[in-house]
A and B are shown apart, each in its own frame.
Chain A
């Protein structure tokens, strides 16, 4: 069978590398499979540029990026991890130099986005701005979709939020592209999130839901009962954590007795916080309790 290599450029902006680390927690396929093996029959990923994993350093690493931009135009997937600082021309995040001047992540992103097959905005910072864009957003940080729209870049973008995102959400999105092609608007919600992973509220599938329905609420952390009174944002957070569980299935946020922080929503962290305080501002949270 003809094997296909799918080039991937993984750009990091204003982030913490936590999304990369989370993807390395993937179980099936493992990160070894993602790096070396056919991710789906007949298709390898070719991780051309990834600052945390790549052997190349300095200029050589930038050359590989630029070379792929040129030779694989229209064929590579751009994974954006971290937000894109835009204040003052984007000087708050730079990567590499050109003519002895630092090059901003903003300009790298715009150029790489224009030449890509599709963009996967991975994690909260890259999708909605996340923590660095939190009030007062000191660096004018934006998510990839905002920049794509402002720059009128005509490339499909898929948002895979979460702080960090679950590895299955990323792997599933990539597998969809390799097996069936790009996701259509039917596959995505109004925030460009794949419905397969973000189609239901945490609250709908929460094992503590019966406590909520009975009105049995935990009054302090560590108690049995629904965590709603302690600040749980499950009632308006779309993600499949209660069914999928995290880190090889050993646990998940509410499973460990913590309120959900709402980290797959654009309102994280400014409106989903205070994290340990009962929701008192439903109007801002687009309530969708069924």
Chain B
């Protein structure tokens, strides 16, 4: 063994191998490749479908958000105006007697301004809405305004005039008028 030279040794494969396993290798490789191809096709199809669904969903979301914003904005304007008027009337009624005439005058001016603003907003809103929808909205909104704002202003105006008149003048007016049974009962 002293003069052993590896180059002179025969090149041999000494490991055990199953017979015809190369055929099995080729079959496995081709099967794997075809199954990969199927998976790729499936995933490509899924990707295409999910992209379409995503586009549809985002469109629905966009239109939904736009509609919600528009409705919400209109409600805010309406409720905000009527709420502020109610509060102003309550505050005015609770003021001391001396300050009431001035306060009623200011309130009257405010109401007129508010009416003008509401009319302007309504015109703008009406321009952006179809006719049928607008008619429906007017039907639902109008009775509320009549009940809440108009009676309170006429009462206020009446009360203001009555307060401004001295007692002698009120007595003179009362002489010329017919006796109102219900009024007497009320006072």
Co-assembled chains A and B? no
